[in-house]
């Protein structure tokens, strides 16, 4: 009886080892990433949400508008577990400002209403490092679904500045808008949530994603002043902020490694 118990115990241990070995040999949901280079080329179009404007005079139609911008850079897969892929990278986000104006001919003394938008860009680009944790679920051999929360730390120093727009005959009605100098604020931080797919092909892999980014601090702030209006009040002031929140659609491209014979 004693030998029978020992035999059963030995058989049980052998079965456990075999089962564990077989389990370890099974393909993990993230194993497909090993067939591709760790670094991918990243590009994204973002719809940056409009800003908030506090107006002293509601008849002054000045708005910090939403705008479309591009981002580009690289992402790097750095560590994988069964379902998780951890990655980082370097993303460049060119600076863009877009403001909307609308003034009536009564306000400016012109013979028609004035309505237009002004857009500008500068050298104060945002350099961002994302910290991403992807959760991957296989759909088929060549399609994998993923969802990813992330945190982004960005270097962005806007030196501020101002712009003046004039309308109508002298004395010209004008509006001056001024961006605050944030050169002492080195960092801009945000959190993102994205979802998308990995599509595996013979020579490359595509990862399209749809994402939303929420900023923890303000991207842009400032004030404006209007002067020489023909209507009352002849001048007014206001302030504005823009968070930096956006919706985005991105695409990352990975190249497949050559197999060794």
Q: In degrees rounded to 5, what are phi and psi of residue 51? A: -90, 175
* Token output for 130: 């994302």
Tell me if 49 sits within 8 A of 68, measured CB to CB: no
Lowest mean pLDDT among 110-114, 155-159, 249-253: 155-159
Asked if the model's pLDDT at residue 24 lies above 90, the reply is: no
pLDDT at 198: 98
- List pLDDT tens digits, range 64-77: 999 999 999 999 99
Q: Of 51, 54, 53, 61, which is closest to residue 229 (Cα–Cα)?
A: 61
Q: How would you class 222 by CB atoms within 10 Å of its CB: exposed for 0-12, middle for 13-18, buried for 19 or more?
A: buried
* Token output for 109: 């003394």
Residue 19 CA, chain-centre distance (Å), reads: 44
- What lies within 8 Å, CB to CB, of 52 at 6+ separation is 64, 240, 241, 242
Greater pLDDT, 14 or 84: 84
Greater pLDDT, 110 or 153: 153
User: How far apart (Å, rounded) are the C-alpha atoms in residues 119 and 67?
Assistant: 9
Nearest 5°: CA angle at 134, between 129 and 135? 170
Q: Domains in the chain and their CATH numbers?
A: 2-255 (2.40.160.20)
Asked if the model's pLDDT at residue 104 lies above 50, the reply is: yes
Tell me if 199 sits within 8 A of 210, measured CB to CB: no
pTM of the model: 0.81
Lowest mean pLDDT among 20-34, 44-58, 74-88, 94-108: 20-34
User: How far apart (Å, rounded) are the C-alpha atoms in residues 112 and 101?
Assistant: 14
Asked if the model's pLDDT at residue 4 lies above 70, the reply is: no
Q: What is the average per-residue pLDDT within 34-41?
A: 96
- List pLDDT tens digits, range 164-217: 888 888 888 888 888 888 777 888 999 999 999 999 999 999 999 999 999 999
Asked if the model's pLDDT at residue 3 lies above 80, the reply is: no
pLDDT at 13: 56
> Binning pLDDT at 50, 70 and 90, where does residue 7 land?
low
Q: How would you class 196 by CB atoms within 10 Å of its CB: exposed for 0-12, middle for 13-18, buried for 19 or more?
A: buried
Tell me if 182 sits within 8 A of 158, measured CB to CB: yes
């Amino acid at each position: 009886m004693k030998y029978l118990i020992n035999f059963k115990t030995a058989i049980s241990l052998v079965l456990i080892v075999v089962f564990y070995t077989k389990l370890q040999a099974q393909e993990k949901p993230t194993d497909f990433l090993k067939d591709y280079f760790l670094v991918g080329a990243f590009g994204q179009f973002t719809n940056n949400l409009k800003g908030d404007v506090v107006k002293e005079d509601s008849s002054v139609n000045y708005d910090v508008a939403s705008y479309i911008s591009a981002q580009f850079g690289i992402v790097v897969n750095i560590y994988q577990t069964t379902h998780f892929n951890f990655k980082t990278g370097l993303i460049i986000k060119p600076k863009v400002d877009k403001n909307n104006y609308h003034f009536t001919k009564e306000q400016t003394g012109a013979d028609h209403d004035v309505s237009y938008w002004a857009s500008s860009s500068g050298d104060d680009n945002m350099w961002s490092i994302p910290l991403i944790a992807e959760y991957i679920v296989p759909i088929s051999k060549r399609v994998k679904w993923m969802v990813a929360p992330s945190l982004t730390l960005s270097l962005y120093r806007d030196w501020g500045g101002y712009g003046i727009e004039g309308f109508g005959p002298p004395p010209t009605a004008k509006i001056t808008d001024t961006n605050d100098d944030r050169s002492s604020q080195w960092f801009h931080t945000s959190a993102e949530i994205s979802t998308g797919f990995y599509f595996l092909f013979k020579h490359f892999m595509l990862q399209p994603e749809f994402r939303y980014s929420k900023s923890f601090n303000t991207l842009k702030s400032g004030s404006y002043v209007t002067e020489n209006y023909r209507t009352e009040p002849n001048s007014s002031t206001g302030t504005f902020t823009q968070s930096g929140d956006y919706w985005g659609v991105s695409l990352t491209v990975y190249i497949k490694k050559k197999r060794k014979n």
